[in-house]
Chains A and B, each alone.
Chain A
Amino acid sequence: MNALILSAVFGMIMMFCSFLVRNRGSLRHIASVGLLILLIANIADSYTHTLFIINTYGMLAFSRFGYLFNSIAIGSTLIYVLITGKEIEKYGRYTAEYFTLIFFVLCGISMLSSYNNLLTLFLGIEIMSIPLYILTGSDKRNMKSNEAALKYFLMGSFSTGLMLMGIALTYGGTGTFSLEVTRGGVMPVYLNVASFLEIFGLLFLMVSMAFKVSAAPFHFWTPDVYDGAPSVFTSFMSTIVKAAGFIALIKLFDVRMQATEKAIDWNLLMSIIIVATLLVGNVTAVFQQSVKRMLAYSSIAQAGFMLFSLMSLNDTAHEGIIFYAAAYSIATIGIFAVLVKMKDYTFEGYNGLAKTQPVLAATNTIFLLSLAGIPLTAGFFAKYLMLAALIKTGTYLWLVVVGVLFAAVSVYYYFRVIQAMYFKEGNPETEIITHSFKWGLIFIAAIVILLGIFPTSILNWLYF
C-alpha cells in the first residue's frame, strides 16, 4: 500500500515542483530522493510497517511477490533516474512533469503488482499506460516522436477496448470481477454458456495483455514506438514497464487460467505465442541497422523468454520472472544509458568505441553479455530460471530447445555491438561523458556481475 499511495503523492509533489523549483537540475535530485523514500517505504511495507491502512474491499491483495516486484521496479527506476535522469532535461522545459509522469507510471505498476480484481487490473494498466503515451511524444519537435505517440496511443486504446470487452465477458461468465472466483464453492462445469463467456473473456484479456508486453503477433507497435520515443524514455518503457505487464499477466494466469485449464489448453496457445514471439523478435533483430531498433526487437525476443514463466507457473517460474525482470531491466537501462550518449545509433556509430571510451565499451559489453545470457552475468540466471521452470513441469521440452536455439540467434545481434566497439575501426561521436556517469555505469555493471555470481544472496535477501 505504501508504494501505491506514496508514488501518487510524489507524483503530485513533482507537479508542484514544476512551478516552485527554478533549477531544473535539482528536480532530478528531488525525484531521486522521492524514489529512495518510496523504495524504503515499500521494503518497510513488506516487513508489515504499513503507513496507510485502508480497506480495499478485496480489490487489492498485497503479497510478498508484489512487494518484491515493486522493490525491483522502484529500485530500477531509481538507477534509471540517477544514470540517465539528466537526459530528461533535454526534452523541452517540462522536466518536472516528466518526473511526475514517471511517478504515476510507478503508481500504476504498484497497482498491477497487487490487483485482485479485474477492475483494479484495468485501472492499473491505464494508470501505467496513459503517462507513457505522453512520454513517447515528449520530443514535440520530432515528427517521429509524434508519430510514435499517436501510434502507441491508438494501439493502446485498441488493446484497452479488448481488455474491457474481456472483463465484461468474464463478468458475464462468472458474475464477479474478483480475480478469485469462488463459484459458490462448487466445481465449475465448463460446458455451459456462462463458462463459454468466461473463456472468451479470458482470451480477450490475454490478447490485450499480449499487446502490452509486445508478444507476437501483437507486437507490431513496439519497434516504431520504441524507435520514435526519446531514447531516455524508451529505456524506461522497455524495461520496468514491460516487466510490470508480465507481473500482471502472471497473476492473471496464476488464478484464472489455472481454474479454466480443463476447458481450454492455455499451454498450447501460449506455446504458439512463445514460438512466434521468439521467432519475430530474434529474426527481425538480426536485420536491423540501428542499435535502438535492434533493442526494440530484442525486447520482443526477451518477452518470449519471459513468457516461459506463464507456461510453468511453479515456484521457479515466480522466482524466475522476478529475477528476470531485475536482470533484464538493469542491463537494458545500462545499454540505453550508453545509447543516449551516442550521436549515431547505427551499428557503425559504435565502431571503435573501445578506443575512445573504454569504460563505456566495457560496461556495455557486460550488459550485452547479460542480455545474451552468458554465465557470470545476471542474464544467465534469468534465462536459467526460465528454462528450469519449464523443464520442471516435464512437458513441452521441445519448446525449451527452441528457446535455447533462439537464445543462440540473439547472440548474433548482441555481439554485433561488441564487434563494432572492439574489433572495428572508427571515430564514434559521443556527448560529453562525466566521471559520475562512468561510475554509474560501473555500478550497474557490478550489480549485473554480482547477480551473476551470487544470485542466492540477492534472492535470499529478497525473500526475507
Chain B
Amino acid sequence: MIALLLILIPLISGLITFFTKSERDAKSLSLFASILTLAVSFAGVYSLFGAAQNAYDTTWLSFIGARFSIGLDGMSKMLCLLTGIAFPIVFGAVYGNTYKKSNSFYALMLLMQAGLMGVFLATDCLLFYFFWEIVLIPAYFLCSIWGGEKRITVTFKFFVYTFVGSLLMLVGILYMYFKNPEHSFALQSFYHIRLSATDENFVFCLFFIAFAIKMPVFPFHTWQPDTYEQAPTAVTMILSGVMVKMGLFGVIRWVLPVMPNATAHFSQLIIILSVIGMLYASLIAIRQDDLKRLIAYSSIAHIGLMCAAIFSNQQIGMQGVMIQMFNHGINVIGLWIVADAIETQLGTRKFSELGGLAQKAPALAILLVVMALANIALPLTNAFVGEFMMFNGLFRYNIWVAVIGGISIILAAVYTLNMIQKTFYGNTSIVTDGAMEISTGTKIMLVILVVVVIILGVYPEPMLQLTNDAVQTALATVK
C-alpha cells in the first residue's frame, strides 16, 4: 500500500493541479502533495506500517503475463526517499519564481515524480519500462515549454537520445521474456534466466545502452550539458538529482544480477570509458564560463565514477555507489538552487560577469561553499564517504584505474574552487553591485540540504544499512 501511495499521491495531485485556476493554488497544492509523498516515503523507509505494506501486486496484462507489481527494498527505499526529498526542496526553492501556465508546470512536475517513483518501485520489467518512458514525457514538455532560448532543439535531442535507448531496452526486455520459460516479466524470474554467452552479451548491450544514455556515461553524454543548461532550473534539479539515478539504478537492479557473465565480459571496457568520461568532463568543466554548464559537466564526472565503481565488482565500491546516489542527488540539487538563485536575481550565469557576491549575500556564500565542498568530497561532507568507498573499490579492482580516476578529484577541486572564487569573491561587477540576499524560502531549503550533507558526512551508517541487501543481491550472482 505504501508503495502504491508513493505513485498515486503525485499522480492524482498532478492531475488535479492541471485544473487549478490560480498560481497560488497550484504551488501550494503541489508543495503539500510533495510533502505528503515525502512523509509516505519516510513511512516506507522505516516500515512504519509493517513490511508487508511496502509491496503491491495485482494482475495487469494477463495476456502476456505482465503484472502491476511494485515493492520497496533497500535500494528503492533509498531512491524513493531521495525522490521524496527532492521535490519539496525544489518546489520550496522555486516558490518565488513565476511560471506562465503554472498549473501545467506543477502538474507535469508531479507526474514526473509519479513516474520516477514507479521506476524505482517496479518489480516487473514491463512495468519498469512503462514508468521509465512515462518520466520522459513530462520532462519533454517541461523543458520544451519553460526552458531557455534553444530549448526546443536541445530538448528534442534529449528526447530522441533517451528514446532510442528505451526502445533498445524494450527489445532486450522482450528477448528476455521469450527466453524465460515462465514467460513472465517479474524481477525474480529474470534472475533465474540463463542465457548463452552470445545472447547474454547481446541483451546486455541493449540494456546497457539505455542506462548509459540516461546516466549519462561517456560517450553517450552529449545531450546532457545542453539539456541541463536549457531546461528550467527546477527541472534540471530533478533531471540531475534524481533522473540520472534511473540509469544507475537500472544497471544495479536489472543488469548485474540478470546478466552476470556479460557484466564480467564488458566491465573492463565500461570502466575505461567511465574513467575517460570523468577526466574529460572535469577538464571541460574547468574551461566553462557558465555556472549551469559547469555543474552539468561536474555531474558527468561524478556519474562516471559511480558507473566505474559499479562495474569494479567490489562490495565496498558498490556500497559507495549506493550512498553516493543519494548524496549526489542532494549535493547537485543544492548547487542548482544556488545557480537558480543567482540567475533569477541577476539574470546571468556567466562567471565573467559575476564576482564579489559574498559581500552582498553572505548567507548564500556560506551555504554554497558547503555544497561546493561536498561536491569535491571533502571529509565531513556526505560525498566524502561515498567517494572514498568507491575509490577503495576501484583500487581493489585495479590500482591504475584508481590512480587515473583519482586525478578527477584534483580537477574537481580546481573547477569548484574556481567557481567559488569567481562568483563570490573578488570585486563586485556591474551586475552584482545591486545583488541582495536570497529569499528566506530558498535559504531554508539550502539549510536543510546542508544539514543532510553534514549528518550523512558524519554518520552514514543508516544509509549503508538500508542499501546493504541490494548490494548483496547485485554482487551475489556476479561473483
Contacts and interface: CB of A to CB of B under 8 A. Distances in A.
A430 interface: no
Contact of A419 (B129, B144, B164, B174): B144
Interface string A352-389: 00000000000000000100001110001000100110
A412 interface: yes
Contacts of A408: 160, 163-164, 167
A456 B164 contact: no
Contacts of B289: none
Contact of B175 (A374, A397, A412): A397
A419 B152 contact: yes
Nearest to A409: B160
Interface residues of A, number: 30
A384 B170 contact: yes
A405 B163 CA distance: 9
A423 B151 contact: yes
A16 interface: no
A407 interface: yes
A423 B152 contact: yes
B160 A391 contact: no
Contacts of B130: 375-376
Given A423-B145, A456-B61, A456-B62, A369 B137 contact: yes
A455 B160 CA distance: 26
Contacts of A375: 129-130, 133-134
B175 A419 contact: no
Given A422-B144, A423-B151, A387 B171 contact: yes
B147 to A, nearest CB: 9
A411 B159 contact: yes
Contacts of B160: 408, 411-412
Given A384-B170, A411-B159, A391 B144 contact: no
Contacts of B171: 387, 391, 397, 400-401, 404
Contact of B63 (A387, A415, A423, A459): A459
A384 B129 CA distance: 12
Given A376-B134, A384-B170, A412-B160, A391 B175 contact: yes
Contacts of B397: none
B190 to A, nearest CB: 15
Nearest to A455: B61
Contacts of A419: 144, 152, 156
User: Is the contact region of chain B dominated by helix, strand, or loop, or is it mixed?
Assistant: helix
Contacts of A412: 156, 160
A49 interface: no
B30 to A, nearest CB: 20
A405 B168 CA distance: 8
A456 B58 CA distance: 14
B170 to A, nearest CB: 7
Contacts of B159: 411, 415
Given A408-B160, A415-B159, A456 B63 contact: yes
Interface string B35-76: 000000000000000000000000011111000000000000
Interface string B161-204: 00110011011001101100000000000000000000000100
A56 interface: no
B175 A415 contact: no
Contact of A401 (B61, B144, B168): B168
A307 B163 CA distance: 22
Contacts of B60: 456
Contacts of A185: none
B351 interface: no
B141 interface: yes
Contact of A404 (B133, B144, B168): B168
B463 to A, nearest CB: 32
Interface in B141-160: 141, 144-145, 151-152, 156, 159-160
Contacts of A436: none
A394 B159 CA distance: 30
Interface in B193-227: 202, 206
Contacts of A140: none
A312 B129 CA distance: 24
A411 B163 contact: yes
Nearest to B62: A456
Nearest to A407: B167
A392 interface: yes
Nearest to B133: A375
A364 B49 CA distance: 43
A192 interface: no
Given A387-B170, A405-B164, A415 B133 contact: no
Interface in B310-351: none
A460 interface: yes
A128 to B, nearest CB: 31
A397 B174 contact: no
Interface of A: 319, 369, 374-376, 380, 384, 387-388, 391-392, 394, 397, 400-401, 404-405, 407-408, 411-412, 415, 419, 422-424, 455-456, 459-460
9 contacts: A376-B130, A376-B137, A384-B170, A388-B178, A391-B175, A401-B171, A411-B160, A415-B156, A423-B152
